[in-house]
Amino acid sequence: MQTTENASTLIDANLEAGRGQTRALITAGDEEWTFSDLHHAVSRVASRLADLGVRREERVLLVLDDSPAFPASFLGCMRIGAIPIPVNFLARGEHFDYFLDDSYAVAAIVDSVFLETVGPRVSARPGVGLIVANGETPPGAEDLTEWMADGVDDLTPASTHPDDPGFWLYSSGSTGMPKAVVHRHADIASTCRLYAHPVLGIGPGDVVFSSTKMFHAYGLGNNLSFPLSVGATSVYLTGRPTPDRLLERVGKHHPTIYFSVPALYHAILSHPSFADTDWSSVRLGVSAAEPLPPETWHRFHERTGIEILDGLGSTEMLHIYCSNRVGKVKPGTSGTPVDGYELEIRDPEGEIVADGEAGELWVRGPSALMGYWHQVGRTRSKLSGGWFASGDRYHRDDDGYYAYEGRVDDMMKIGGLWVSPIEIENRLMEHPSVSEAAVVGVDVDGTSRIKAWVILAQGAISDGLVGELQEWCKEALLRYQYPHLIEFVDDFPRTPTGKIQRFKLREAGA
């Protein structure tokens, strides 16, 4: 399979392979775009950005939902050597101020539906050009839809080096403003070559659908770089990826690979339309962003026959670097290292621990970030000798599979003993009255205690359930691995990808 070191020419490889009239994507409105259509759009956007004065390595902020405007803008920037920065379009207003100022962006390409929030912030910065996609363009702004419709059909790409900065992704943490993660042009090619091609076996006949948006590192691979690298078709969805809308897209467009996250796998399983959805086209499910509970894996497999490949990735490493494999899935684990990546589990002193013992996971591989923009201290603390400190706590079992135990700062010390929240959460979710569970450590009168927030299964009642769930945990886990406190809630605080924000639960306390 052909993979270029300059991601802006991913589409060119499809034209060279004779796939110009092959379907590249299906829009949220069910329009079909060929690879030739997409190539023209990328070239036209690149040409007009250059005419606007955007130069090599200058930054362009992208506030875009999943429409053809996204690949046209992302790859169009890279085609002239400029640096696209896709950001979370659901971010708070002050975050957009930060993105624009921190990156020194010279232009912003904004979906019209986000103009109310983003537009005034761009206008307040006279040096930043505003380009509007998918809607009415205000005075003084450029119209991306017009750019994409007419112009230069084949713009020669800039002669970029694989090690040149290619794009940025802002990674949000538990505290402070998001961090700008700088990636090279070559990093996209590495994830395609090492993960998408050999692990997923993705090929020209595949149709891929991702519930995670392309502004996120996981979604960027799922719905842009992976299918483009082989000539597969992407199915887009704009707006919120609610369970009913996800199931509708699956039933209508028959994807062969379905990418999602644990919270949304769980949500679609609980939706009334799940039983009526035809999953026969799907040969493979993929999950990332946080660990997939074994109970969710088994329920999905029993109802569809589809294996979900749970894997571990990060914005800093761009995509998945540890994964389960087809026919060798071990539910409750992140699988084994993807070929080309090395993993080590280290104790606080930096020594490698023995199998079965837990520690912080370090990873080394070709798609690692160049560094964090404007954060030299953090770059030095997280990168050492090519190794990246993931911040995830793992252990490796006797079969060589890596099992997640929580973020390093999520671990709880109870009575002098370390406790992983993941084991307790997985056990709670095995109870028929529990739909989802999230466990954190809280302070109760100066003493560390384990608290579980629980979402009840449909029809379950909470009366008398606290004691029952505590005993349920004690039966299968060590006697101290049970929630001292349990609170029943309708939902948890989550990130845009559905990941539970445990730090907010800790802040809520007892």
Q: Where are the domains of the chain?
A: 7-394, 417-508
CATH of 417-508, one of 3.40.50.720, 3.30.300.30, 3.40.630.30, 3.30.450.20: 3.30.300.30
In tens digits, the chain (510 residues) has pLDDT values of 445 577 778 999 999 999 999 999 999 999 999 999 999 999 999 999 999 999 999 999 999 999 999 999 999 999 999 999 999 998 889 999 999 999 999 999 999 999 999 999 999 999 999 999 999 999 999 999 999 999 999 999 999 999 999 999 998 754 568 899 999 999 999 999 999 999 999 999 999 999 999 999 999 999 999 999 999 999 999 999 999 999 999 999 999 999 999 989 999 999 999 999 999 999 999 999 888 999 999 999 999 999 999 999 999 999 999 999 999 999 999 999 999 999 999 998 999 999 999 999 999 999 999 999 999 999 999 999 999 999 999 999 999 999 998 888 777 877 666 788 888 999 999 999 999 999 998 888 767 889 999 999 989 999 999 999 999 999 998 878 899 999 999 999 987 667 788 888 888 876
Rounded CA gap, 143 and 141, in Å? Answer: 7
Nearest to 409 by CA among 426, 424, 389: 389
DSSP-based three-state secondary structure for 245: helix
What 3-state DSSP class applies to 419? strand
The CATH code that applies to domain 7-394 is 3.40.50.12780
How would you class 92 by CB atoms within 10 Å of its CB: exposed for 0-12, middle for 13-18, buried for 19 or more? exposed
* CATH topology agreement for domains 7-394 and 417-508: no
